[in-house]
Structure 1
């Protein structure tokens, strides 16, 4: 099962390299179901893996001229604030066992996986939908961009998800960026958000198996290299519907497994 997990880790990087998001949607299920990592700890590992992979991807897009630093900072700074609030203040206060109903126990791990599966299903539906014509505004709406950045930080903080599927639409509609630049800028924002979130986890003493973490990250980086090269030849938007169906199936699998078994 672990060998399959390492192979699946390559897909994390490929999706990030091709469409600027989606990697975190796969990371948590891979860590929990293939590597048997506790969901709580998996959110920390996901921040490191996705952040490191996105860092290399953003550098690749920087060389291609696809990074817009000002838009990235307006989005990332409020994201970092909400991430730190969630990871360092709220998340540690959530009890391992939330409540019990008859013989059924609702745990913190259960909550993480159920919310994550709902997030996967929502993301999948947005990816499956046909692309709408790009709407260009007269100028970048930095206030709305920052507000959305704060909200995405909440998702990143609680679930260890980079939030690329939320970041890219925000960059398209509020930063007025074309798709290629939205993908590159999204990777930089994911890098900043994930890195700060992981650093915060280290600060509060989250236990980390670095040998395992670096091994999975190395496979994801291989995938990122492959995805970045493919992005020069393949329109990532054409792959979104196919990836969306895969994520949709995974989302329903997780929620079914957690609720019924």
Structure 2
């Protein structure tokens, strides 16, 4: 029980701080509690979905959530998620684990580069590019909608939905760097908007997973409850930390988790 609480709290804390920490739920369940990937996926989706709901409520209360963007990404993700679920029933568990590990590492490198580039720009006095695919309107602080912005956000949502169905993760690890890359939204609003998308996508994906026979054990419910507690703590702490620090910290943690998964699940198969 103690292990479940500690791991769940850590995942929730990371999710609340970064908006993408839910991707750590699957590794925590596999490495810390001995779950297989198929067993970890529904538990991860439920814990991340409920926790993200709590974070979304806090983000909406603070006016940080760009809810139109969240709805566009969530609709796209919900429509694509069944394809990921179907693929997860076809691909072997070791292949899925390998895909997950490599994807984690790639995203960690991307997020670290984004944070370091932003820091270098600040030090040199260079501003952000004048144009992104999605630009905030100065008068309202909301996105200026056009076909390019709509397609960009829909694509980010679709990729996150597919990963949610395929790997049992909330998709925030794709949403956060995606919005950061293609918009001028600040990091704290990106996190809040990501949590709203995760809430909407995870709900549909959880229902589909349970429909396909996924089981939740009492051990898993301790993890889920602790994740919610960690989320609340993370959202309270997030305003105290800079977006660059959060991004770099999460990138480092994700890299370590990715290498641990590769070491435990891929190298034995490679050398056998």
Aligned mates of 2:33, 2:11 — CA distance in 1: 15
Find the counterpart in structure 1 of residue 93 from structure 2: 109
Find the counterpart in structure 1 of residue 102 from structure 2: 118
Aligned mates of 2:245, 2:72 — CA distance in 1: 29
Find the counterpart in structure 2 of residue 90 from structure 1: 87
Cα deviations by residue, 1:84-123 (Å, 9 ceiling, x for unpaired): 2221x3333x16xxxxxxxxxxxx2211221111122112
Q: Secondary structure at the match of 1:208?
A: coil
Aligned partner (choices 167, 170, 175) of residue 162 of structure 1: 170
Cα deviations by residue, 1:130-177 (Å, 9 ceiling, x for unpaired): 143644535341122112211221111111111212212333454543
Aligned length: 244
Contact 1:134 1:172 in 2 (8 A): no
TM-score, normalization by structure 1? 0.86
Find the counterpart in structure 2 of residue 17 from structure 1: 16
Q: Is 1:54 aligned to residue 91 of structure 2?
A: no
Contact 2:88 2:96 in 1 (8 A): no
Aligned mates of 2:192, 2:177 — CA distance in 1: 13
Find the counterpart in structure 2 of residue 36 from structure 1: 34
Aligned mates of 1:186, 1:134 — CA distance in 2: 21
Q: Secondary structure at the match of 1:228?
A: helix
Find the counterpart in structure 1 of residue 159 from structure 2: 151
Cα deviations by residue, 1:206-246 (Å, 9 ceiling, x for unpaired): 2222x333211111111111111111222243132233222
Find the counterpart in structure 2 of residue 8 from structure 1: 7
Judged with a 3 Å threshold, the aligned counterparts in structure 2 of structure 1 residues 117 and 17 are, in CA distance, closer, same or farther, namely same
Aligned partner (choices 251, 255, 259) of residue 252 of structure 1: 259
Judged with a 3 Å threshold, the aligned counterparts in structure 2 of structure 1 residues 134 and 22 are, in CA distance, closer, same or farther, namely farther
Aligned partner (choices 206, 209, 218) of residue 225 of structure 2: 218
TM-score, normalization by structure 2? 0.82
Contact 1:71 1:175 in 2 (8 A): no
Aligned partner (choices 233, 240, 246) of residue 240 of structure 2: 233
Cα deviations by residue, 1:32-81 (Å, 9 ceiling, x for unpaired): 12211121121111111111111101111111111111111111101101
Aligned mates of 1:121, 1:155 — CA distance in 2: 15
Aligned mates of 1:81, 1:163 — CA distance in 2: 14
Find the counterpart in structure 1 of residue 196 from structure 2: 188
Find the counterpart in structure 2 of residue 72 from structure 1: 70
Judged with a 3 Å threshold, the aligned counterparts in structure 2 of structure 1 residues 5 and 131 are, in CA distance, closer, same or farther, namely farther
Find the counterpart in structure 2 of residue 103 from structure 1: none
Q: Secondary structure at the match of 1:232?
A: helix
Q: Is 1:197 aligned to residue 205 of structure 2?
A: yes
Deviates more, 1:117-126 or 1:164-173: 164-173
Find the counterpart in structure 2 of residue 242 from structure 1: 249
Judged with a 3 Å threshold, the aligned counterparts in structure 2 of structure 1 residues 50 and 131 are, in CA distance, closer, same or farther, namely farther
Deviates more, 1:135-144 or 1:26-35: 135-144
Q: Secondary structure at the match of 1:49?
A: helix
